[in-house]
Each structure stands twice: as structure tokens, then as C-alpha cells.
Amino acid sequence: MKRPVVGVIASAQLVENRFAAQRVGERNLRAVAEVAGALPIMFAGTPEITEIGELLELVDGVLLTGARANVHPSRFGAEPHARYEPYDTGRDDLALALVQACVTRGVPLFGICRGLQEMNVAFGGTLHPEIRELPGRVNHRMPRLENGEIHPDHEVIFGDRHDVSLVKDGAFARLLGCECIRVNSLHGQGILDPGRRVVVEGVAEDGTIEAIRIADAPGFALGVQWHAEYDPQRNPINRALFQAFGEAVAARKRAT
């Protein structure tokens, strides 16, 4: 039996400040292949290249990855500011429509970091461009050295940094078998107001929303704010998430 196929969204990048490219971090691809047990296929995060209907005829699930660019503020009624750039409006156009299409058709959908934010905005929610600026919040961005440079050690960058409390008897608590987990943190933007149908299932110690599901979705439709793709081969929490996604994708393939 052939493996199910997972479409992994790419993000825009300018190579050498000259060449337009689409990229996906390899850890996302390895998580899909090695833990979810599916064949990862990258697709362009721009509607001029990727047609949603055709894409969903080819894949059995979709992974919305994290990315450097923030969701453009115009998507949730806020004003853009140079401080919060870069933006990737092509990915915004595609991803927000793709979220709706996946949920409507029951195509398994897993959102990570920006992917969680896209899921929220797709259902009318809002974001804050720099969650640490809100009263009582902590800095959720990646660790840096005293001179401001990004820490050179990936084990430090992606190390577990804070707890997340899960809703009792919620989808995540049932899936993970516990009501408190510890996760990494590498984001500036975060959910401000949950969208319609967006059910908050996990919250950090400072109140930042870390895990969501889409209410009444006919298929797998979960999102996490942390980077679950970094270490699901050895991290039991992230492994359980990708395995559950893989099971949903495999079931979708069998059904179709």
C-alpha cells in the first residue's frame, strides 16, 4: 500500500536578495515522513501557482508550517507597521482559503506556529504582532545572546521553555494523556481574540494561547503555537501529535 500524501505549505523567500523562491524547513518534511508515516510534498504558498481544488485532490492531509513572516494585519482589521515585517501576502491569500477548504472537506489539517495563527484568522480571529508587548506576557521569541545575536545552539533555541495547561478532557488532553505539557517557544505574533469555531485547548502560564482545535470539524483540525516539528522523533509530546496526524491522514486515504 502506498503511503498517504501530506501537502506541506512553503513560504516566500528572496535568495541572495534577487531570486524569488519557495522554501520549507527540512524538519517539517522529516516529521511527516518519519513520524506521521506519510510522503511529504511541498506546495507553493501562493495562489498564482497552487490551485486549492487540485491540491486537495492530490493530498490526504495538509501541514501549515511556521514561517518568518507574520500574517498581514489587514487580514484581521489592524494596521501594518514596519516593525512587524516581513509579511508574505501570497501565503496569506492561499493559506486562509485553504484552512476553510480543508475543514469543509474533512481533509486533516495540522497548523504549527504561523499555521495556528492562520487557522485562527481564517475563522475571523485576531492576532497581536508582538505578544510580549501585552501586559503580563513574557518574551516568547527565540533565545538570544547578550549582544542580541540568535543563540548558536539549536538545543537551546528549541529547548522547552514554558508549561502549557490543557483543557481537561479536551482533544489535546485525551491525545497526550495529560493536562500539562512543556514546550519550546519561538514566536512574536500570537492569538489575541479566538475566531469563531476556534476552541482554545492549551494556554501558557502567561495566558498566551498555545493549542487550538476547530469546533465541529469533520476531520483532524488542530493547531499548536510551538514548533512541534523540531523533535517529534524523540519528544513524546510532539511525536504523539504527528502520529495522530498521520493516523488521520491514513484514514483519509483509506476512505477516499
Q: Which of 72, 102, 113, 201 is catalytic?
A: 113
* Active site (annotated) includes residue 229: yes
Task: Kindly state the average pLDDT of the residues 76-103.
Answer: 92
pLDDT, average across residues 181-194: 88
- 222-233 pLDDT per residue, tens: 999 999 999 999
Cα–Cα distance, 103 to 90 (Å, whole number): 20
Range of the domain at 230: 5-255
Total of domains in the chain: 1
Q: How far is CA 4 from the centre of its chain?
A: 20
Distance separating alpha carbons of residues 246 and 94, to the nearest angstrom: 23
| Residue 210: band (very low, low, confident or very high) from pLDDT cuts 50, 70, 90 | very high
Q: CA-CA distance, 209 to 125, in Å (whole number)?
A: 12
Question: What are the cell numbers at 58?
Answer: 492530490
pTM value is 0.93
Polymer length in residues for the chain: 256
Active site residue 72: no
Task: Evaluate whether 187 touches 141 at the Cβ level (below 8 Å).
Answer: yes
Of residues 251 and 79, more confidence is placed in: 251
Q: How far apart are the first and last CA of the chain?
A: 14
Residue 234 predicted with pLDDT over 70? yes
pLDDT tens sequence across 30-87: 999 999 999 999 999 999 999 999 999 999 999 999 988 899 999 998 888 888 888 9
pLDDT score recorded for residue 194: 97
Would residue 178 show up in a list of annotated catalytic residues for this protein? no
Choosing from 118, 130, 210, 229, which is the catalytic residue?
229
Q: H or E element: which one contains 243?
A: helix 236-255
Q: How far apart are CA 100 and CA 30, in angstroms?
A: 26
- DSSP symbols for 210-237: EEEEETT-SS-EEEESS-TTSSTTT-HH
Query: Would you say residue 91 has pLDDT above 80?
Result: yes
8 A C-beta contact, residue 80 and residue 87:
yes
Average pLDDT over the chain, rounded to an integer: 91
Task: Break the chain down into helix, strand, coil percent, rounded to 5.
Answer: 30, 25, 45
Residue with cell 524523540: 234
Question: Do 118 and 96 meet the contact criterion of CB atoms below 8 Å apart?
Answer: yes
* Residue 251 pLDDT: 97
Do 94 and 9 meet the contact criterion of CB atoms below 8 Å apart?
A: yes
Q: How far apart are CA 37 and CA 249, in angstroms?
A: 9
pLDDT of 157 reads 62
CATH number at residue 110: 3.40.50.880
